[in-house]
Amino acid sequence: MTYASWSKDEALLVLSQTRDKPGPVLISLQAIQSVFGFVPTPAVALIAEACNVSRAEVHGVLTFYSDLRTFLLPANHVRVCVAEACQAVGSRELVSGLKSQGVEFDKAFCFGNCALGPSATVNGKLQGRASVDSVVKAIQG
Amino acid sequence: MKTYTVYVPSDSASRSVGADDVANRIEFEALKRKLHVVLIRNGTRGALWLEPLVEVETALGRVAYGPVSLFDVPSLFDSHFYSGGDHRLSLGPTDEIEWLASQDRVTFARVGITDPLSIQDFEAHGGLVGLRKAISMKDNEVIDELTASGLRGRGGAGFPAGIKWRTVLQTESEKKYICCNADEGDSGTFADRILMEGDPFTLLEGMTIAGLTVGADEGVIYVRSEYPDAIRTLERAIVIARNYGWLGKNVLSSGRAFDIRIRSGAGSYVCGEETAMLESIEGKRGVVRSKPPLPAIEGLFGKPTVINNVLTLASVPMILADGASEYQRRGVGRSLGTQVFQLAGNVARGGIVEVAFGATLGALVEGYGGGTRTGRPMKAVQIGGPLGAYLPTTMFDISMDYESLLSAGGMLGHGGIVIFDETADMVDQARFAMEFCAEESCGKCTPCRLGSTRGAELLTLISQGKDVDGNKKVLLDLCEVMTDGSLCAMGGLTPLPVKSAMLHFESDFSSKNGELR
Ligand SMILES: Cc1cc2nc3c(=O)[nH]c(=O)nc-3n(C[C@H](O)[C@H](O)[C@H](O)COP(=O)(O)O)c2cc1C
Ligand code: SF4
């Protein structure tokens, strides 16, 4: 995934499209993240101004939701489901296997693929019956 | 040139095991062999263990092959599968596959059968009949029908849909909303997703009926961000419905307006709780609101709001089209109609099982599920998501309906059943329940916010064999505080998986005694 590098004008362009929507703060944050790959610090003040709320409010929303980030993701983003249905088919082993191979990943709670677990995503692409091998292969392209 | 019609699901579960590769390969082979194949990307039939399930249209109806891998495609062509030829992966006519044929598909009647984004296909299979009927009826009559059907909320709480709609209808306001809860955060559940990806128009139809009935002109579907395919499909379906003269200022020439938009979640389980969802749609932190006021009276942006789960709303069109009596003749006691069960986890034949309420747990997990995928003996099932109870195999004769499960110390929730084999350690499962609550709590109540962290610590001590009896006592006290002192079911029901694990799998706990790790 390639993202734009920070530019105030680019951010304002995004916010001009979201600020008038009902309940604009969360959508604004989501839209900023989809353009820059994360929520850059200066965006918080811009969102606050555009949506006419305090910076604290924007910050509060930003820190509540686990999707929202203040840093750029690694080139290959791996997410592994660690919720119950995947635990039942070995997600704990998958997690420790990936760790021992030095693969970085985030834990996720459920991709709705609970009959075909363990589930993982590599750069957004969902894998059923995932294994250390299948994840590593997807990273290598 | 003869045209062959082939179906390969576009459902994300099917794609997670290679459906896209299979579809591409089929088009490639067809081109190479100079055959005219029309490829339709349908939803999944729900027999997920057979995915990717490939179907072809024949004179005798659709026949199925599965599970098909990329490498099977050339030999399928060699066997003339496109006209129903025999192959190692033949499953026969799809309608005669026992696993599917024995189900009672009502809400899921069209899923897997139609092209999800073809409104013509949708109408050819009974779509829009319910909405047209609703338009011709008085608002109160629609709600009477809904009430008579016995339909209860499928999101977890099981509240009668008719009563909720009536409250919103009777609350005076210049603006009202319909909110569809598509947050589906429970592990072990995927029915909302499969319906949204496989038959999105049914959900739009149910929401439109709700809107016209209670006098709301705006609908919002709150979809979790983990479901990008569902979001994409719904967005396209909405545009198609607008162009068709269905959504918009003049719904099917009724003179009434209704439109729908999508809001994506942002990775928060508690935002499935209805008032936290409203906060999230309003763009705020997903903190649970105190009730009253009920959302039906003061909901989204303070306006009267119908909040229903995807499956609740998607059941409405069928109820209106076929009549309440047709729906409520199914089921038992106060659990009427069908439930879309989801078999998940360590299961040999997982997927969607829609049957009338009252099937036994054993019939579902052993009959349909066929036991564990690993082939080891089953140990436990968790019903109703992360806030649901762990039950042992000795309880397999229990009837799967709201009341029976409640009296057995469980809850139906959204109908997900997660199966575990004998290798599961129930202390670990109990600890995960607490950790999950600590991770996802909205933070409003102390017992939930802090108690869950303490609970996870206690369970770590127990698993290390440290003062097992003493720590179990403290844990039970803590569970009581959480149950009594939590505003919503997140903190209030997290003790359910913990206590049920302690009750039914006592030996997993006591065996830690002296096992100092
Ligand atoms: C922590 C928590 C999470 C919930 N998650 C969902 C969910 O993902 N989907 C859903 O429909 N209901 C969920 N609910 C239930 C909703 O609060 C609400 O009861 C439901 O959306 C109402 O619709 P229904 O009457 O059609 O079931 C959740 C409740 C709690 C306490
Ligand atoms: S029980 Fe937990 S999730 Fe529910 S309102 Fe209280 S703190 Fe929030």
Question: Hey, of B14, B217, B227, B285, which one would you mutate to test binding to chain A, going by the most A CBs within 10 A of its CB?
Answer: B285
**Rounded average pLDDT over A127-131:** 98
Fill in the DSSP letter of residue B363: I
**Rounded average pLDDT over B306-322:** 98
Residues B113-151 have pLDDT tens digits of: 999 999 999 999 999 999 999 999 999 999 999 999 999
pLDDT at position B329 is: 97
Residue B317 falls inside a structural domain: yes
The per-residue pLDDT of chain B, averaged, comes to: 97
Residues B218-229 have pLDDT tens digits of: 999 999 999 999
Residue B77 falls inside a structural domain: yes
- Nearest CB to B16 within list A86, A87, A113: A113
Last residue of a domain, one of B402, B421, B440: B421
pLDDT at position B515 is: 62
Give Cβ neighbours of residue A79 (< 8 Å, ≥ 6 apart): A105, A106, A107, A108, A120, A121
- The answer to whether residues B231 and B282 belong to one domain is yes
- The answer to whether residues A100 and A122 belong to one domain is yes
Give Cβ neighbours of residue B27 (< 8 Å, ≥ 6 apart): B37, B39
SS3 B372: coil
User: Containing domain of residue B430, as a range?
Assistant: 426-516
Residue A44 falls inside a structural domain: yes
CB-based burial, B252-285: b 16+ in 10 Å, e otherwise: beeeeebbbebbbbbbbbbbbbbbbbbbbbbbbb
Q: Do A113 and B373 touch (CB under 8 A)?
A: no
Nearest CA to ligand 1 atom 7: B272
- Nearest CB to B286 within list A25, A64, A111: A64
Helices (H), B178-227: 191-198, 200-214
ipTM of the complex as predicted = 0.97
Query: In angstroms, how far is CA A55 from the centroid of its own chain?
Result: 22
Q: Do B440 and A109 touch (CB under 8 A)?
A: yes
pLDDT at position A2 is: 85
- The answer to whether residues A59 and A89 belong to one domain is no
- The answer to whether residues A51 and A93 belong to one domain is no
Residue A3 falls inside a structural domain: no
What length is written for chain A? 141
**Rounded average pLDDT over B356-360:** 98
- The answer to whether residues A16 and A58 belong to one domain is yes
Residues of A in contact with B429 (CB under 8 A): 84, 87
Q: Nearest CA of chain A to the CA of B160: how many Å?
A: 26
- Is a pLDDT exceeding 80 seen at residue B200? yes
Residue A69 falls inside a structural domain: no
Q: Count of domains in chain A?
A: 2
Last residue of a domain, one of B303, B328, B353: B328
Q: Do A61 and B284 touch (CB under 8 A)?
A: yes
Residue B438 falls inside a structural domain: yes
**Rounded average pLDDT over B354-382:** 98
Residues A6-32 have pLDDT tens digits of: 999 999 999 999 999 999 999 999 999
Q: Is the CB of B449 under 6 A from ligand 2?
A: yes
Q: Count of domains in chain B?
A: 4
Last residue of a domain, one of B367, B400, B421: B421
Residues of B in contact with A129 (CB under 8 A): 17
pLDDT at position A141 is: 80
- Nearest CB to B266 within list A57, A68, A126: A68
Q: Is the CB of B183 under 6 A from ligand 1?
A: yes
Name the residue with tokens 């809001």: B263
Among chain A residues, CA nearest to B192: A112
User: Containing domain of residue A56, as a range?
Assistant: 8-64
- The answer to whether residues B210 and B246 belong to one domain is yes
Q: Nearest CA of chain A to the CA of B501: how many Å?
A: 14
Residue A2 falls inside a structural domain: no
Residue B186 falls inside a structural domain: yes
Q: Do B185 and A110 touch (CB under 8 A)?
A: yes
- The answer to whether residues A58 and A95 belong to one domain is no
Task: Indicate yes or no: pTM above 0.90.
Answer: yes
Residues B256-290 have pLDDT tens digits of: 999 999 999 999 999 999 999 999 999 999 999 99
- The answer to whether residues B58 and B144 belong to one domain is no
CA distance B508 to B501: 9
SS3 B166: helix
The string of DSSP letters for B177-188 reads: EEEEEE---STT
Residue A88 falls inside a structural domain: yes
CATH number at residue A85: 3.40.30.10
Cβ A57 vs Cβ A23: under 8 Å: no
Q: Do B345 and A129 touch (CB under 8 A)?
A: no
pLDDT at position B512 is: 84
CA distance A58 to A11: 15
- The answer to whether residues A82 and A136 belong to one domain is yes
- Nearest CB to B17 within list A85, A89, A128: A128
pLDDT more than 70, % of chain B: 99
Q: Nearest CA of chain A to the CA of B407: how many Å?
A: 24
- The answer to whether residues B155 and B134 belong to one domain is yes
pLDDT at position B516 is: 56
CA distance B111 to B116: 8
Q: Do B13 and A83 touch (CB under 8 A)?
A: no
- The answer to whether residues A87 and A134 belong to one domain is yes
